[in-house]
Amino acid sequence: MRIFSGIQPTGRKHLGNYIGAIRQYVEGQDRGDPAIYCIVDLHATSVAYEPSALPRYVYDTTAMLMAAGLEPERCVLFRQSDVAEHTELCWQLCSVTAYGDLTRMHQFKEKSARERELVRTSLFLYPVLQAADILAYKTDEVPVGEDQRQHIELSREIARRFNSTYREVLVEPAGAIPEVGARIMDLQDPTAKMSTSYGTDAGLIYIDDEPDAIRRKFGRAETDSGREVVRAPDKPGISNLIDILAVTRGVAPEQVERDFDGEGYGTFKQAVAEDVVELLAPVRERYRELRADEAGLERTLAEGAERARALAQPVIGDVRAAMGIGPVQARG
C-alpha cells in the first residue's frame, strides 16, 4: 500500500489542516509502504505569493508535520520542487488531460475569481501537477480533505486515459477522506472552509495559537439561533463545532449531541475550546523546538527528496517508454 499526499506551505497551519489531513498522515505511517508526504511549494506559486517568504513557510510546514508526529525514518518527507520528475510528468500527463475537465474544476473557478491582477496558467494546470504528484509514485491511497475529492477523481481519470492511450503504467489512486472533520469551517463564517489564504484571523484556529487565543476564538465563534447542540442544515456554526469536538474526543457526532443535550451554547463552546487546547498543546511545544533548527529541517527535506526520486524515476522511465519519448534504448 503506497500512500501519498501533499500540503501547501501557505502560511501557518490551522485546525482544519490538522483534522482534515495531518492526522491522517501520521496514521498512514503505520500502513504505507511507503507513506510519502510532500511540501508542494510549486503549487503555492499558482496564485499571488511572496517569494521571499516561501522558503520560510516550507520550513514552518515541515516542522509542523514533524511536530504532529511524522517521523522521517518512517515516511518519505520532501519538498516538491526538489524532485523534477513531478514537473516532467505534469507535462506528459497534459497529453491525456481534457481541457474541458480542467474548466470544470471547482477550485479553479473559486480561486481565479479572487485573483484580481492575474489568473495564472499554473492555476489552471494545478490539477494536472497534483495528478503528477500522486501518479509519480504509483500511489494507492491519497489522504485528503473533502475539498480535494474532485481533484482525486480527475487524477483517476488521467491515469485511466494514459493507460488506455499508451499502455498500463499508472495506478488509479483512491482518496481517503475522513467521515468526520473532512471539511472544518471558519469560526466566523461557518459557510466557508477554514483557510489561511482567504479567512480572517478570528475565524482560524492556528495549531501554534496560545491556549488563551484558542479559548477566545471559540468563545466568539459564530453560532446559530436556538440553544440546542444538534447538527442541522440551518445550524452550520454548531454543526462545525460538533464535528470538531467529535474528532478531538474520538467519538461520533451523535455522542457529542447526547453529551450536551440540554446544555447551552456557552458551555458547549467552552468544552470545545478546552479539548482543542489539550489536543494542540504538545504539537505547539514540539513545533517550537523543531522550527529553530532550519539546518536540520533542510537535511530532512534533502534526504527525503533523494528517496522520493528513487521511487519516481522508474515510473517516469516507464512513462517515457510508453509515450516514445527519449532514446530508443530507454524504451520498454
Q: What is the pLDDT along the chain (332 residues), one digit of tens a residue?
A: 999 999 999 878 999 999 988 999 999 999 999 999 999 999 999 988 999 999 999 999 999 999 999 999 999 999 999 999 999 999 999 999 999 999 999 888 888 887 777 989 999 999 999 999 999 999 999 998 788 889 999 999 999 999 999 999 999 999 988 888 778 999 999 988 898 777 788 999 999 999 999 999 999 998 888 888 999 998 999 999 999 999 999 999 999 999 999 888 999 999 999 999 999 999 999 999 999 999 999 999 999 999 999 999 999 999 999 999 988 754 44
Confidence at residue 37, expressed as pLDDT on a 0 to 100 scale: 98
C-alpha to C-alpha distance for 279 and 250, rounded to whole angstroms: 11
For the stretch 48-90, pLDDT in tens is 899 999 999 999 999 999 999 999 999 999 999 999 999 999 9
- Dmax (CA) for the chain in angstroms is 74
Residue-level pLDDT at 109: 84
Report the chain's C-alpha Rg in angstroms: 21
- Neighbouring CB atoms inside 10 A of 266's CB total 11
pLDDT digits (tens, 9 = 90+) for 111-132: 888 777 798 999 999 999 999 9
Q: Residue 122: CA atoms inside 13 Å, Cβ hemisphere, count?
A: 11
pLDDT at 330: 47
Sequence-distant contacts of 295-298: CB under 8 A, at least 24 apart: 297/59, 297/62, 297/63, 298/59
Per-residue confidence (pLDDT) for residue 332, from 0 to 100? 46
Alpha helices in the chain (DSSP H): 15-17, 23-28, 41-44, 54-68, 85-94, 99-103, 106-114, 121-124, 126-135, 149-165, 211-219, 236-249, 253-259, 265-291, 294-323
Q: Are 38 and 80 in contact (CB under 8 A)?
A: yes
Comparing C-alpha atoms, which of 273, 292, 177, 147 is closest to residue 220? 273
pLDDT of residue 116: 73
Q: How many CA atoms lie within 13 A of 308 on its CB side?
A: 33
Q: Kindly report the backbone phi and psi dihedral angles of residue 301, in degrees, each rounded to the nearest multiple of 5, phi listed first.
A: -65, -40
Q: Which cell is 14 given?
A: 490551522
**Whole-number average pLDDT of the chain:** 93
Cα–Cα nearest to 244, from 287, 211, 274, 286: 274
In CATH, the architecture of 3-176+293-330 is: 3-Layer(aba) Sandwich (3.40)
Please report the pLDDT score of residue 196 as a whole number.
79
Phi, psi (deg, nearest 5) at residue 141 = -135, 135
pLDDT attached to residue 86: 98
Contacts of 241 (CB under 8 A, 6+ apart): 218, 221, 223, 268, 269, 272
How many degrees, rounded to 5, is the angle at CA 66 between CA 63 and CA 70?
Answer: 155
Domain 201-289 CATH class label? mainly alpha
- The answer to whether 171 touches 156, Cβ cutoff 8 Å, is no
Cα–Cα distances (Å) from 269 to 207, 239, 275, 324, in that order, read 18, 12, 10, 60
Spell out the domain ranges in the chain. Answer: 3-176+293-330, 201-289
Q: Are 80 and 145 in contact (CB under 8 A)?
A: no
Strands of 174-176's sheet in order across: 76-79, 35-39, 3-7, 141-143, 174-176
C-alpha cell at 73: 525514518
Q: Do the two domains 3-176+293-330 and 201-289 of this chain adopt the same fold?
A: no
